[in-house]
């Protein structure tokens, strides 16, 4: 089968189209004929070798989001051949990444695609949707409490703002002038200008600080400044700092959601009823993965880039 992977870590040009043997599903697993794999920031880190080899041999295969059609089922699987599904993949795990023609996926790692969406659009939901769910679970806020989200114009920020509003939270989101309309459509209660002084701007609205910050823009200290004494801070890139003031730092790892089928299916339903907005910025043939990585790394992409297999 065709995959896009790296044999030597490096820049976008390190991504190669390679042939590897076709996999087959074991018990409780399916094989997905992948049609669409989203391109996420973490894929560029894997490509560069910043996540190590995970004890795996090359080729290393990026991709944490797939959508496609089940074409084989393992013994005892509850899924059927022909179903259109979306799945989370874990590149350092047993079944590797999603930049593949055929992905082996445990039953619990997939859900039907949202009705009314196509496969590339569905591929933008699993990994970042599950991350947003995990952030909200770990911050454990009650309705009426205040959450500030930076990087709100990004894919994770998109889902976070919408899920936080659904949970009854008061939401502060950041936006650059050019993204203000897009972010406003997500429904936050307040928008602050994007920038290094995120903490100060949030405190202009909430002088004692907010109950929690979800740091999707990875601003670390500058974002933690917005949190009230004793509040919560979700770090998505393993920040090891200590903001002090009794603030709890919650490390977020979406790999823990590999078998969170119920959560993924709930995300499906929320995309179907319009609570979640799914955005595709553009599609690329798998052969042009390097170009998609270059575009993502240039910054400013709104919506997800998706590779077609
Ligand atoms: N730990 C986990 O399990 C996990 C899971 C999912 C995602 N993540 C991480 O979460 C982050 C967000 O993911 P994503 O897919 O939403 O990325 P994305 O779509 O690229 O969005 C990131 C957003 O943050 C903005 N931004 C970047 N640097 C900024 C800064 N210094 N100040 C203000 N805004 C800034 C970006 O703007 P520009 O485009 O203009 O730069 C973009 O709007 C990434 O770092 C990703 O790796 C972690």
Give me the mean pLDDT over the 52-65 stretch: 94
Inform me whether the pLDDT recorded for 264 exceeds 90.
yes
**pLDDT at residue 208 in the model:** 98
Q: Whose CA is nearest to atom 24 of ligand 1?
A: 151
Inform me whether the pLDDT recorded for 283 exceeds 90.
yes
* Distance (Å) from CA 154 to ligand 1 centroid: 6
* Distance (Å) from CA 58 to ligand 1 centroid: 27
Q: Whose CA is nearest to atom 40 of ligand 1?
A: 300
* Distance (Å) from CA 158 to ligand 1 centroid: 11
Give me the mean pLDDT over the 268-291 stretch: 98
Q: Whose CA is nearest to atom 46 of ligand 1?
A: 41
* Distance (Å) from CA 264 to ligand 1 centroid: 21
161-184 pLDDT tens trace: 999 999 999 999 999 999 999 999
Mutate to test the pocket of ligand 1, among 216, 240, 263, 306 (most ligand atoms within 8 A of CB): 216
Atom of ligand 1 nearest to the CA of 157: 16
**pLDDT at residue 54 in the model:** 87
Mutate to test the pocket of ligand 1, among 127, 135, 154, 282 (most ligand atoms within 8 A of CB): 154
Lining ligand 1 with CB less than 6 A are 40-42, 127-128, 131, 150-151, 153-157, 194, 216-219, 236-237, 252-254, 299-301
**pLDDT at residue 163 in the model:** 99
The HSE-up count of residue 111 (CA atoms within 13 Å, CB side) is 27
**pLDDT at residue 116 in the model:** 97
Inform me whether the pLDDT recorded for 215 exceeds 90.
yes
The SS3 assignment for 85 reads strand
The SS3 assignment for 106 reads strand
Inform me whether the pLDDT recorded for 222 exceeds 90.
yes
Give me the mean pLDDT over the 4-26 stretch: 98
Atom of ligand 1 nearest to the CA of 40: 15
Atom of ligand 1 nearest to the CA of 238: 1
**pLDDT at residue 129 in the model:** 99
Q: Facing residues of 103 across strands?
A: 32
Instruction: Report all structural domains of the chain as residue ranges with CATH numbers, in order of start.
Output: 2-125+278-308 (3.90.180.10), 128-254 (3.90.180.10)
Q: Any idea of the CA torsion for 57, 108, 309, 14, to the nearest 10 degrees?
A: -30
Distance, in Å, from the CA atom of 39 to the CA atom of 98, rounded to the nearest integer, reads 10
When pLDDT is cut at 50, 70 and 90, the band that residue 229 belongs to is very high
Q: Whose CA is nearest to atom 41 of ligand 1?
A: 299
Atom of ligand 1 nearest to the CA of 237: 1
pTM score above 0.85: yes
The SS3 assignment for 180 reads helix
106-151 pLDDT tens trace: 999 999 999 999 999 999 999 999 999 999 999 999 999 999 999 9
Distance, in Å, from the CA atom of 142 to the CA atom of 272, rounded to the nearest integer, reads 25
């Amino acid at each position: 089968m065709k995959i896009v992977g790296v044999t030597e870590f490096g820049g976008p040009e390190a991504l190669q189209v390679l042939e590897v043997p076709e996999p087959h599903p074991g018990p409780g697993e399916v094989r997905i004929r992948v049609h669409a794999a989203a391109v996420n920031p973490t894929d560029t880190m894997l490509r560069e070798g910043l996540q190590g080899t995970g004890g795996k041999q090359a080729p290393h295969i990026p991709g944490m989001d797939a959508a496609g059609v089940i074409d084989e089922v393992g013994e005892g699987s509850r899924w059927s051949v022909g179903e259109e599904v979306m799945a989370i993949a874990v590149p350092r795990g047993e079944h590797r990444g999603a930049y593949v023609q055929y992905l082996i996926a445990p039953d619990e790692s997939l859900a039907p695609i949202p009705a009314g969406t196509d496969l590339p659009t569905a591929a933008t939901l699993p990994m970042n949707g599950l991350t947003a769910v995990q952030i909200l679970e770990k911050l454990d806020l009650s309705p009426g409490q205040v959450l500030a989200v930076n990087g709100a114009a990004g894919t994770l920020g998109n889902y976070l703002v919408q899920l936080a509003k659904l949970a009854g939270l008061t939401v502060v989101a950041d936006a650059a002038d050019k993204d203000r309309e897009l972010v406003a459509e997500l429904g936050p209660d307040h928008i602050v200008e994007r920038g290094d002084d995120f903490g100060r701007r949030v405190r202009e609205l909430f002088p004692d600080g907010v109950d929690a910050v979800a740091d999707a823009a990875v601003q670390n200290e500058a974002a933690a400044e917005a949190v009230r004494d004793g509040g919560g801070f979700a770090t998505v890139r393993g920040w090891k700092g200590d903001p002090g003031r009794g603030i709890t730092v919650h490390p977020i790892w979406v790999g823990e959601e590999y078998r969170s089928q119920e959560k993924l299916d709930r995300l499906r339903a929320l995309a179907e009823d319009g609570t979640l907005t799914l955005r595709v910025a553009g599609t690329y043939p798998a052969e042009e993965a390097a170009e998609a990585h270059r575009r993502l790394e240039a910054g400013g992409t709104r919506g997800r880039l998706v590779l077609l297999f």
